[in-house]
Amino acid sequence: MSGTTVPAESNETEAEPSVSAATGQEEIQRELSHEEYDPKGTLALILIYFAILMAMWVFMYFVEFLGNELVVVG
């Protein structure tokens, strides 16, 4: 995105802290470029999420949906 003070082409990371940051919050220690960064942690989290989704879906479909009798009210 082209910010008002940072042109879109710039690769310079803004070091300014967030206005909502806690006092004494640690600043950025290093800059990681697109090439240097590999989101492995994200992949791990997403795989865990998919595993949870699949397990819950199987539970919902086979246990809750197929396993329950019809509820007839009245």
Partner 1 sequence: MSTQTDQPSFVDRYPEEAAVVRRSLLVAFVMLGIGALMGLVQALHRTNVLRIIDSADYYTVLTAHGVFLAIVFTIFFLVGLYQWAVTRSLDRSPVDIRFTHAWATMMTVGSLMAGAAILLGFIDEVPVSADVLFTFYAPLQAHPIFYAGLAIFIVGTWMAGADWFRTWLAWRKDNPDERIPLQTFMVLTTMIMWYVATLGVAVEVLVFLLPWSLGLIDSVDPLLTRTLFWFFGHPVVYFWLMPAYLLWYTVMPKIAGGRLFSDPLARVVFILFVLLSTPVGIHHQYVDPGIAQGFKFIAMTNTMFLLLPSLLTAFTVVASIEHGARQRGGTGLFGWLTALPWRDPAFTGMALAGLLFAAGGFSGMVNAGMNINYLVHNTLWVPGHFHLTVGTAVALTFMAGTYWLWPQLTNREIYSRPIALAQVVMWFGGMALMSNAMHVAGLFGVPRRTAEPQYSFDFPALFGTIGELRLQIAVGGTLLFISTVLFLSNLAFSLGTPKREGFGQTIPPALSGPEDSPAVLDNMKLWAAIAVVLVVLAYALPLGAIISDNGLFGVGIEPYPMLVRPLFDWAGATLAGLAEVIA
- Positions that interact with partner 1 (CB under 8 A): 1-14, 16-23, 25-34, 37, 39-42, 44-46, 49, 52-53, 56-57, 60-61, 64-65, 68, 71, 73
H or E element: which one contains 8?
Answer: none
Nearest-approach distance from CB 40 to partner 1, in angstroms? 6
Nearest-approach distance from CB 15 to partner 1, in angstroms? 9
10-41 in b/e burial notation, b at 16+ Cβ within 10 A? eeeeeeeeeeeeeeeeeeeeeeeeeeeeeeee
Nearest-approach distance from CB 24 to partner 1, in angstroms? 9
